[in-house]
Amino acid sequence: MSDSIVSDGINFKPLFSPKAIGIIGASYDPAGGGFFLRCMKNKFRGSIYLFNPKLSGKQLYGYKVYGSISEIPDDKLIDYVILAVPARFCPKLLEEIGKKKVPFVTIFASGFREVGNEHLEKETLDVAKKYNIRIIGPNCIGVYNPRSNLYFAYDQSKKAGNLGGIFQSGGNAQNIAQLAVSYGLYISKFISIGNALDLSPSDFLKYFLKDDYTKIVSLYIENLRSVNQGREFMKTAKACNLNRKPVILWRAGYGEATKKAILSHTGGLAGNNEIWNAVAKQTGCSLVNNSNALAALASAFNLTHLPASRNIGVIGIGGGSTIEAVDILEDYNLKIPQLTEKSIKKMMRFIPDVNTNLSNPIDLGGSGVRPDNYYRCLLALDRDPNISAIVFIKDPERFGGFSEILEEMGFPDLDLNREFIRFISKAKSVCTKPMYCVMLKINEGFEEYKSRYKFKLKLLNRNVPVFETLHLTGEVLDKMNTYREFLQKHGKFPKS
């Protein structure tokens, strides 16, 4: 199976699918080892061993606490240990862990080179090498793998998906794991690597390259430790991208204040922005600068196929709003071409020529209240040879205000939310071009939120990405097209 992958001589199965784990520093304290125990108690199906000399012989949430890992019999193998103690204790405890032949250790503590403690960092790494222990961290929270019931946050989704992640920030790893769900995708494996003292972003990228469960790779990178790591990163990232596993790279550190924060966070230099832009261009990585863009782009890669060109067809209601949409989308290097005469004549059969515009962008005016009109326009754009992707703008929070108008038009008791979902789903089932919904947020009321949430959830379940702003939609489509152009340049698009 996929979890049995050996990459660069490293067998990652004990890390991603451990049969037994240990937590050193376990307690009721939610800021230390108690945090990890709370994340995994009653969830992890293997054995959990807890260690804390101050609580030796007692029980924590029904688990026995040992004073030291050396108390565990040699025939009781532990695959993975979370070391949640202050940094100064790590070398000594790694000696004990090494004697028990534990292959992987996550070091939760900060206090190494990011605060000038290079000697302690070297001592820690020397002990790890002595016993062939592979370190995740320090200054990190380790592994989230829902297939193996490994968690690094409370109430994380138990549903597994295809988004992999490598993060130099535990907080960002937790946030994106949750944010991804709101965009309709789930996690294969996330790794919080912190300072990356031993195992690097490249090591995990190589793993994801071979991992059948992972189809999209996301990264939050503050720095790489060496030139050699940089070369390995570029080589592996390019291999992932050419293998149709798009790599989304959130590279932090564009501002001077951010660079100072990075130095104190992971102890590294952020690097030159132009260099990272060049890295993205050479390797095919999609460069983003915030969590929302990362999750939205991953959602689009997951739910749709790549557009064949930058030519976008736009459907909206209102002349001003559709002009605004075009202005924004063109700012992201997208094209809004003229539709064919055949497409326009087809739509003229059911869209009146009063307060409407059937060129591109399509302004449906009052006719856009009818879901069947939206459906027929989606089909027209899908069949137009000048269009490669469709963006349609909907504001479901307004549906409730149209009931009286629809009744006058001969459609009494019509649930617009349900009907628009039905017709868009019907279009999605027959259309061949990727389509994206821009669900504008106009009001902040509870009823409006419920309407938006229901609409978004139903569309995501039908493989239609939903974004709340035109700017985010433009950024996503720009990145998808840039990735497609990278594949074309290397003879990988379209698929042979």
User: What is the pLDDT at residue 305?
Assistant: 97
Same domain, 17 and 125: yes
Same domain, 347 and 471: yes
pTM score of the predicted model: 0.93
Of 136, 154, 172, which closes a domain? Answer: 136
User: What is the pLDDT at residue 319?
Assistant: 78
Domain that holds residue 165: 142-303
Same domain, 45 and 147: no
For residue 311, list its beta bridge partners. 335
Query: Cα separation of 283 and 108, whole Å?
Result: 32
Quick check: is 146 in a domain? yes
User: What is the pLDDT at residue 3?
Assistant: 67
For the chain, count helices (H), then strands (E). 17, 20
Structure-block tokens of residue 386? 């000048």
User: What is the pLDDT at residue 445?
Assistant: 75
Same domain, 346 and 483: yes
User: What is the pLDDT at residue 160?
Assistant: 98
* CB neighbourhood size of 430 (10 A): 10
DSSP code per residue over 161-189: EEEEEEES-HHHHHHHHHHHHHTT--EEE
Of 82, 105, 136, which closes a domain? Answer: 136
User: What is the pLDDT at residue 367?
Assistant: 87
Structure-block tokens of residue 417? 């939310």
Same domain, 82 and 199: no
The domain that holds 431 is classified in CATH as 3.40.50.261
Mapped onto helix, strand or coil, the DSSP state of residue 335 is: strand
User: What is the pLDDT at residue 32?
Assistant: 87
Of 252, 279, 303, which closes a domain? Answer: 303
User: What is the pLDDT at residue 386?
Assistant: 98
Question: Which helix H or strand E contains 204, and what residues bound it?
Answer: helix 201-210
Structure-block tokens of residue 59? 């029980």
Same domain, 113 and 151: no
Using only C-alpha atoms, the chain has a radius of gyration, in whole angstroms, of: 26
User: What is the pLDDT at residue 456?
Assistant: 93
Quick check: is 494 in a domain? no
Same domain, 125 and 150: no
Q: What's the structural domain count of the chain?
A: 3
Same domain, 334 and 476: yes
Query: Cα separation of 379 and 375, whole Å?
Result: 6
For residue 423, list its beta bridge partners. none
Residues of the chain with pLDDT under 70: 1-3, 253-271, 397-403, 406, 496
